[in-house]
Structures are given as structure tokens and as C-alpha cells.
Amino acid sequence: MSSEGTRNAAPVAGAEPATGHRPTSVQLSERVHAVLGGVNCAIVDVGDGRALLVDSGQDKEYGRKVRKALDALGLELAVILATHSHADHYGGNAYLLRQFPEARVWAPEIEAEIIRTPALEPIYLFHGAKPLPELTGKWLQAEASPVHRVLTAGRDAVGAAGLELLDVRGHAHRQLAVLVDDVLLAADAVFGAETLEKYPIPFAQDVVGQLRACETVAGVSARVLLPGHGAPTEDLVGVAASNRAAVLRAAAAVLAACAAPGARSGASTEDVVVGSAESLGVVLDDLARYHLNYCVVSAHLGRLRELGEVTCAVEGGRLVWRRVAHGADGREDRSTPVAQSRRLEEGGNA
């Protein structure tokens, strides 16, 4: 969830236009065109003058940008494939459907329900209660969109374009990436380098899934990767590795923010949110950022508990967390960070 690009991305041959004017899209392959911006979208030429759009951006302004790119390519929108239900990836749907009333929307299960009912995202971020107004802006709550078909991972097609839909859940509960020919449209399975630098706790709802998604991206045989945020790159393995490392750094920061084993007072979830943010230089200065970080820290805590790295208990009316001792004498062994790192990495596929 960022408007940042990736300064470490390898250049894609032919991605820069020969003309001096700014293009509405950048061609990644014979049929795939990227609409680059704060959130990346992709137009796939499926033949017969029709197009598949993978993600529609933040809002109607992104929708207008996509419409201009479609017009420049001489294509009519047939299908919008929403990779997941975060508002910045489907916020252009409603505008585009008004422009192309015959277009259909496809989305993964669970994600489809939020796209149809966008209020669900701020509701779950505010623990199921009526959300604060600051959580209902377009960044977290897009305009509602119909979903005409619910997708699962596997092979599919739109017109002449064959698709491989990859399960890259983690950042979102049922996120899909799309492989078209030799181009991987990765959505938010991975982020560019500048995005990782700006957001050192990469957003996740399922950290195990997030780590698996990095492995999936690294294992795809593709020439070009387009992340949801960042520049196109040919270095799939390098981008996946940097994202995995960022997730594990965040996990270590969350673990360190928990109370020591046997501590009289445990660290509340809020304590862990603040402690991990401070250690990674994250500033929690608004309600939206706070609740997004609360969500991802909770996802890390859940995984750490599954790995046996932390315990939780309700004490004095607070949910508190303590690290688990791994020393031979039952005390916490803080002298072996390598062993701790190995445990966190080995738990990536738990």
C-alpha cells in the first residue's frame, strides 16, 4: 500500500518509449501493457479488440487513467480481474463499469465479498465495530463494485489470453497473482525496494502465507515481474528475497517487543505495536496507519505463537505477550540470535 517505486528494479528491455511524450501505458510483452503509478495496473490484449484489466487502482482518477490507456491501445474493456480487496486495487472499478457497462468483474473468494461491500474493511480494522470516520476514506474504503465471478487458483483464459492464477495469499486473505505469457502480475505478493524502505513492516493478514508467496514468486518462470507498487523488473528471485528478508525483520522486531519470559508484566498488544514500530523507525501518527500496523503486528503475533516463540494471556483485563525461553535451563537464551533467526525462517512454511 504505497505510492513508491523500486529503485533496485532491473530495467525491462523496451519499457521506455522512443517518443518524448509521456505514455499512457508501458508495453511489457506483445499483449501486456502496464499502467504505472502509485498502484500498478495491467492491460492485457485478449484479441478481437477486447482487454482484460488486472486491478483498477485507487479511485475514479485511476479509472480515468486506465480509460485513456485503453483508448490509446484501441481496446474495449471486457474483464476486470481484482487480485485482492484492498481499496487501492479495485477503487477504479465503479468508474470503469460506468464507462464499459458490459464489462465483468472477477475476484478471489473472500476478497469478492469485501469488493461488493467495501465497509467490511474498515469494520474489521476497527475490531468489528462501527469504524471511526478516519477509517472510511478512499484509502481503506473504495466505492462498491459488483463481482460477477469468484476465482480460485489455476488455469483460466480471457479470449486468446491464457492465464495462470497463482495463490499468493498473505498480504490479503485470498490474493491471486496472474501469469500471462512470460509476465507475472504479482499484485502485492511482493513490493519494490523503495516501498519496503518506506514501509519496513510489510502489510500482511497471514504472515505464513506472505512468506510462501515470496517463494511462489521466486519459483515462477517469467521474464518480467510487475509488482503492485514499484517498477517492472526482471529480477524475480532478488525481489522475492528482499521481501522475505523484510518480513523476517518485522517478525524479529515484533518478537523483541514482547515481554521477556517470566516477566511480571506482559507486553500488551498495543505495547508490541508501539515497540516494534519504534525499533523499525515506523511513525504511527494517524488512525489509519495505526490500525493497519495493529493488524499486521497481530498477524505476526499469531504466527509467533504458532511457532512456540511467544505465549499470550489475559491479565488485568489486557491481552499480554511474553517470549518463550529456549535456553537449556529454562531461561531465555539471548546469546544465539542466529538460532532465533533460523527458527523464524524455518517457521515460514508452518
Tens-of-pLDDT digits for all 350 residues of the chain?
433 332 222 234 334 443 345 678 999 999 999 999 999 999 999 999 999 999 999 999 999 999 999 999 999 999 999 999 999 999 999 999 999 999 999 999 999 999 999 999 999 999 999 999 999 999 999 999 999 999 999 999 999 999 999 999 999 999 999 999 999 999 999 999 989 999 999 999 999 999 999 999 999 999 999 999 999 999 999 999 999 999 999 999 999 999 999 999 999 999 999 999 999 999 999 999 999 999 999 999 999 999 999 999 999 999 999 999 986 555 555 544 555 556 677 655 54
Q: Are 153 and 213 within 8 A, CB to CB?
A: no
Residue 326: predicted pLDDT? 83
Q: Are 229 and 272 part of one and the same domain?
A: no
- CATH of residue 306's domain is 1.10.10
In the chain, how many domains are there? 2
pLDDT of residue 20: 43
- The pLDDT value recorded for residue 23 is 75
pTM: 0.90
Q: Are residues 157 and 240 both part of a single domain?
A: yes
Whether residue 164 is contained in a domain is answered as: yes
The domain boundary, picked from 213, 247, 281, lies at 247
In a domain? residue 301: yes
For residue 6, count other CB atoms closer than 10 A to its CB: 23
Q: 278 pairs with which residues across the strands? A: none
Report the alpha-carbon angle 301-284-88, nearest 5. Answer: 85
Residues 218 and 259 in one domain: no
Domain boundary among 231, 247, 263: 247
pLDDT at 226: 98
Alpha carbons 279 and 257: distance in angstroms, whole number: 9
Which CATH number belongs to the domain containing residue 37 in this structure?
Answer: 3.60.15.10
Residues 234 and 302 occupy one common structural domain: no
Per the structure, the complete domain to which residue 144 belongs is given by 26-247
- Whether 19 maps to a domain, the answer reads no
192 and 121 in one domain? yes
Residue where one domain finishes, among candidates 191, 213, 247: 247
224 and 285 share one domain: no
Q: Is residue 9 part of a domain?
A: no
E strands, 31-160, where? 32-35, 41-47, 50-54, 76-81, 104-108, 149-151, 154-158
Look at residue 342 in the predicted model and tell me its pLDDT.
66
- Domain match, 88 and 154 both: yes
pLDDT at residue 330, rounded to an integer: 52
Other CB atoms within a 10 A radius of the CB of residue 343 amount to 16
165 with 289, same domain?
A: no
Of 41, 40, 39, 32, which is closest to residue 14 (Cα–Cα)?
32
Same domain for 185 and 303, yes or no, is no
Structural domain includes residue 48: yes
Q: 242 and 275: one domain? A: no
Same domain, 158 and 237: yes
Q: Is residue 199 part of a domain?
A: yes
Q: Are residues 239 and 279 in the same domain?
A: no
In a domain, 35, yes or no: yes
8-46 as b/e: b if 16+ CB within 10 A = bbbebeeeeeeeeeebbbbbbbebbbbbbbebbbbbbbb
Q: Is residue 280 part of a domain?
A: yes
d(CA 70, CA 44): 10
